[in-house]
Amino acid sequence: MGYTRKLAIRNYIVEGFLILASLIVLLPLVILILGSFKTSAEVLSFSLRLPDTWQFSNYVRVFQEGGLSRAFLNSIWITGISSIINIVASSAAAFILARRETKLSGTIYMYFFMGLIAPMSIITTIRVVQGLGFYGSITSVILIYAALNTAFSVFLYSGFIKTIPRALDEVAFLEGASVFGVFFRIVTPLILPVNATVAIMVFMSVWNDITIPVYFLTDSSTWTMPLSIYNFYGKYSRDWNLIFANLVLTSLPVFILYLFGQKYIVSGLTAGAVKG
């Protein structure tokens, strides 16, 4: 009895301490959200005070003056297509690499794995894209994101595909299925949860990224949400309420995705990162 009571007291202390610590995370976020509903004079205190009147008009203004609808569509397009390319290409590659256990496949796996470690070489990538004739285009950014996430995705997929018994494939082969048939009919349905994990991870990292747009999107009509906001931040540096409304808007899609995909993030991390 004494032991469990001591445990209970310890749990209360830990819980109290963690609740206090969570304020360090929570307060800046609350300041951000409250600030997005204030007037530009009110927001300047960056405090936890509630707005005198809730300025929903901030959000309308941001959309009208910030040209956000274009940026929003660009972001959706870039993030969506690069995630899809990444998922299809990486899972197909990981499937073969996991199944063919030869020296060559081991070498190719290491070749992909290097991408997890090595930083990209931006200036030469620009030259390659210029040489191919589409520097500054949305297509170039889509392909670069697909490439940058290949290492991570192949790593996650191949760890998972190895846990699927090979006997399943063999039966299908005996029935006359092709390798594509086996991949799309048998493996793809079984790796749906990993697809969800990869989709969410790639989507979040691409949606949130600013480095690639800074170098590769030279024309404002191709800008993504983060880049438009960075530009807006420079122009409206006095209107923190509008800037904050902008920040909330750009965070909304990933927040919603996170709410729906929460369990895939955790299960994917467990399967891929911790056990892999």
Partner 1 sequence: MKRTKNLYSYYMIFPALIIYSVFFVVPAIAGFYYSFTDWRLDRLELTFIGWDNFKKIFSDKTLILALQNTAIFALVTVVGKNVIGLLLAVGLNMRLRTKNLLRAIFYSPSILSILVISILFTPMLRTEGTINQMLEAVGLHSLSQAWLTNPSIVIWTIAIVSIWQSAGFQMAIYLAGLQSISQEYYEAAKIDGASSWRSFFKITLPLLLPAININLMLTLIGGLKVFSEVYVMTGGGPGNASQVVGTIILRSFGEGNWGLGTAVNTLLFVVVTIIAIPLLIFMRRKEVTE
79 Cβ contact list (under 8 Å, min separation 6): 145, 203, 206, 207
Residues 156 and 198 sit within 8 Å (Cβ to Cβ): yes
Determine the Cα–Cα distance for residues 61 and 58; give it in Å rounded to an integer: 5
Query: Considering the complex, what minimum distance in angstroms separates the CB of residue 192 from partner 1?
Result: 18
For partner 1, the closer of residues 160 and 240 by Cβ is: 240
Vertex 262: Cα angle to 256 and 263 (nearest 5): 150
76 Cβ contact list (under 8 Å, min separation 6): 253
For partner 1, the closer of residues 103 and 180 by Cβ is: 180
Distances (CA, A) of 208 to 31, 226, 229: 21, 7, 11
Query: Considering the complex, what minimum distance in angstroms separates the CB of residue 78 from partner 1?
Result: 14
265 Cβ contact list (under 8 Å, min separation 6): 197, 200, 201, 258
Query: Considering the complex, what minimum distance in angstroms separates the CB of residue 139 from partner 1?
Result: 11
Query: Considering the complex, what minimum distance in angstroms separates the CB of residue 1 from partner 1?
Result: 15
Query: Considering the complex, what minimum distance in angstroms separates the CB of residue 93 from partner 1?
Result: 4
